[in-house]
Structure 1
């Protein structure tokens, strides 16, 4: 069997490394851009949903969110009906950073997909969605404290 997940991992690490280097100029490090983009695109999202969307544990998300808040990229606001819930929003600084992050993401997509036809790109997208959905089943299982059997 081909080592497909190794290839996906190498691609993800290379792109993450590039992003971390390029985003230093706007004071974003170690994957913080992932959180900022998702908060911008989903204003009012709660921390647990954000962690689930990015596929990280709550502690990792909490640290990244806290740092983004301290740096002035995002802010937490009380939910209108349940004061225990904090909703996440980008600040003006976060909104100004988004176009740069979006351009980088678009550029990385075009570089990664260079030479692919529209049809190949669509097929790859759907195949990767299927892979993600398969992995999410195990991710949810392990996240709840279970152990996989191999």
Structure 2
């Protein structure tokens, strides 16, 4: 899937590692980088690199958080707002391919199981 996503998003100069951040900002702006990391279950370093790349490409902008100046709020730029629906269309095309041969119930079950696996991998070990 990552290879297909990378190919679909190449015209926008968005890597397969950045699209998830772009879309999360699009659907949840404004958001802090910390909140984004927590929501996506992705470490802060990876999030910082992805946001820096999206900012360099002109898709994301940072603004000071008026309620807490230690953090900056992330917003999509005009270019980011224009790209987000196209990125979503590309992701929908790939999702459609992955669902081929699966019922809605089977697909929902698969996604649910993958979420459990991800949560298991990101939670601290019990001692």
Q: What's the TM-score once normalised by structure 1's chain length?
A: 0.74
Report what 1:55 is aligned to. 41
Is structure 2 residue 102 aligned with structure 1 residue 102? no
Q: Which runs of 4+ in 1 moved over 3 A?
A: none
Mapped to 2, the partners of 1:30 and 1:121 lie a distance apart of: 22
Q: Which has the larger radius of gyration?
A: 1
Q: What's the TM-score once normalised by structure 2's chain length?
A: 0.86
Report what 2:10 is aligned to. 24
What RMSD over aligned residues (CA atoms) do the two structures have, in Å? 2.0
Report what 1:4 is aligned to. none
* Gaps in structure 2 of 5+ consecutive residues: none
Report what 1:5 is aligned to. none
Mapped to 2, the partners of 1:125 and 1:33 lie a distance apart of: 19
Report what 1:6 is aligned to. none
Aligned length: 127
* Gaps in structure 1 of 5+ consecutive residues: 1-14, 143-147
Higher RCO (CA 8 Å, separation ≥ 6 residues):
2
- Report SS of the residue matched to 1:87: strand
Report what 2:56 is aligned to. 70
